[in-house]
Amino acid sequence: MGFSILVTASLSMEKKKIKIAAFNVNSIRARLELILNWLTHRGNDLDILCFQELKTPTENFSHSEFKARGYHCAVWGQKGYNGVATCSKFPPQEVRQGFGGKIAGEDSRIITTIFPYFSLINIYAPRGGEPASKKGIAKLEWYGQLFRFLETTFNLQDPLAVMGDFNIAPSNLDVFSPKKLAGTIGTLPEERQALARLFRLGLLDVFRALYPQQQQFTWWDYLGGAIWRNEGLRLDLCLSTARFLELVQDCYVDLWPRRRRAPTPSDHAPL
């Protein structure tokens, strides 16, 4: 996602509060020390961690470090690029990789974990490019595949969340300067239309549902101290069905990992 945001949703299920975070780490190996420091800083309170942009093969994922913290990790890695992992303190009933195994050469960008009371889809959307470029077209095609996957695979009346790096800022409220960033990747009309199709399925933007006018970002450029001027974009999202949203108590961005000077942070913050 080029950004790194932490979205933490607190859910009430059977009177148990569950905290979930999504974090584009921009290389799990480069960010491992920071992640462990962050978990310690939070008192190891997160129940589910959704990581994106692992940039490592599945077999090289740091299972032992997360197992020591009590997590079971479902991983779909890829050498040098992409990669997603969902680590939870309770094992999922089922794990699915990709869009159902029907797309040849599919990148490691989506992993689904099925839990007793809800389903969780962890995604890392393509960054894209100009609308007519190969990368721009591929991004829109990927969103079309995501739409069909959601429409045909899940009952959208059930509790379901789609979390991760969408690489699209949903509206101008999610961009620090719409004027400066007009026509840039992540804000293009074609991209926002692709995201809007997911909303028409009945999915809701959890953060925006809770905070209709609040401006929070999840990604800041490494250059020029953008994090300290808060010149960012909200690219990391949690979309959910209405049944899931009913369970949510809060949704926010945790800036602590992004504001570290050492170890080097990701350009995203966790949601």
Long-range contacts of 13-18 (CB under 8 A, 24+ apart): 13/117, 13/118, 13/247, 14/117, 17/249, 18/47, 18/48
**What domain range includes position 76?**
7-253
Per the model's pLDDT, the better-predicted residue between 15 and 27 turns out to be 27
Strand 119-124 with 160-165, pairing: parallel
6-10, 76-80, 227-231: the lowest-pLDDT one: 6-10
Predicted confidence at residue 13, as pLDDT, reads 52
Predicted confidence at residue 204, as pLDDT, reads 98
Residue 98 pLDDT greater than 80, yes or no: yes
108 falls within a domain = yes
Average pLDDT, the chain: 93
What digits encode the pLDDT tens for the residues 104-129?
678 999 999 999 989 999 999 999 99
Mean pLDDT of 230-257: 97
Predicted confidence at residue 2, as pLDDT, reads 28
Predicted confidence at residue 7, as pLDDT, reads 39
Predicted confidence at residue 4, as pLDDT, reads 27
Predicted confidence at residue 6, as pLDDT, reads 38
260 falls within a domain = no
What digits encode the pLDDT tens for the residues 6-18?
335 556 555 678 9
41 falls within a domain = yes
First to last CA, the chain: 13
Predicted confidence at residue 62, as pLDDT, reads 95
Pair of tokens at residue 3: 């950004």
221 falls within a domain = yes
Helices (H), 86-188: 134-153, 178-181
Mean pLDDT of 179-203: 97
User: What span, in angstroms and rounded, lies between the C-alpha atoms of 190 and 220?
Assistant: 22
CATH classification at residue 155: 3.60.10.10
Predicted confidence at residue 131, as pLDDT, reads 87
Residue 237 pLDDT greater than 90, yes or no: yes
Residue 230 pLDDT greater than 60, yes or no: yes
Provide φ and ψ at 239, rounded to 5°: -100, 140
198 falls within a domain = yes
158 falls within a domain = yes
209 falls within a domain = yes
Predicted confidence at residue 101, as pLDDT, reads 67
Q: Distances in Å between the alpha carbon of 5 and those of 33, 156, 265?
A: 17, 25, 11
CB-CB neighbours of 230 under 10 Å: 12
As for how many domains the chain has, the answer is 1
Residue 81 pLDDT greater than 90, yes or no: yes
Helix (H) or strand (E) holding 90: none
Percent of the chain with pLDDT over 70: 93
- Is pTM beyond 0.85? Reply is yes
1 falls within a domain = no
